[in-house]
Amino acid sequence: MTAAHPATQELTARALLLDMDGTLVNSDAVVERVWRRWAARQGMDGDAVLSVVHGRQGHATMAELLPERPAEVNHAENQALLAEEKADMAGVVPIPGAAEFLAAIAGVPHALVTSADLQLATARMAAAGLRFPSPRLTAESVSASKPDPEGFLKGAAELGMDPADCVVLEDSGAGIAAARGAGMRVLGIGPRALAHAPDLAVPDLTAVTVTVLPDGGVRLTRV
């Protein structure tokens, strides 16, 4: 894994790829409720399950935790959990600074790359009162969940950008691993990101200053 760069205070890019949960939207309350119930049904420790779940599609979490279980069972259960999550928006709020950040990058090439499916992503962005970026790469857009880099590589391709010219905003270990696998630099958002050596880390989006560059790129500076 690439080491952190303690002296780094800013990142420049031609395009940004944005995770959603934990990066733009705080959905931790819902995720914890749904996955603790799932853990209890499996006779598993809830904290252990929650240490794996962030950043991944649900069936990928299940495959990690129950490797002997048939994939079709995981996919079926994932659909049931997605239904639970879509019905529960209590406590879904924006990450501090998210609305202002999205407004600041409106003229910069950017895409959403999330492990949520389109319906859940739409509902959560609306519940948080945030602009829904386009293009958007959701669970339906990829054949493999983060930490596979497919979503970020497709996001860069949608924007017509080289991966090396992209900066990813992520909060989870799985997401940061996916970005690294895609050959991209990472701005880590929040406490979960710190353990995974992002190039630059901030507590939330209020700690980032956006400067749009004359060539259409962007500079992200830690406040």
CA–CA dist 82, 102 (Å, integer): 26
Q: Is residue 19 among the annotated active site residues? A: yes
DSSP string, 126-184: HHTT----SSEE-GGG-SS-TTSTHHHHHHHHHHT--GGGEEEEE-SHHHHHHHHHTT-
Catalytic residue of the set 21, 28, 171, 204: 21
List, in order, residues 6 or more apart from 163 with CB less than 8 Å away: 152, 153, 156, 182, 183, 184
Q: In the annotation, is 117 catalytic?
A: no
Q: Which of 16, 29, 24 has its CA nearest to residue 96?
A: 24
Catalytic residue among 19, 28, 117, 171: 19
Side chain identity at residue 177, one-letter code: A
Longest dimension (CA), the chain: 56
- Residues paired with residue 187 on neighbouring β-strands, in sequence order: 169, 200
**Residues recognised as catalytic:** 19, 21
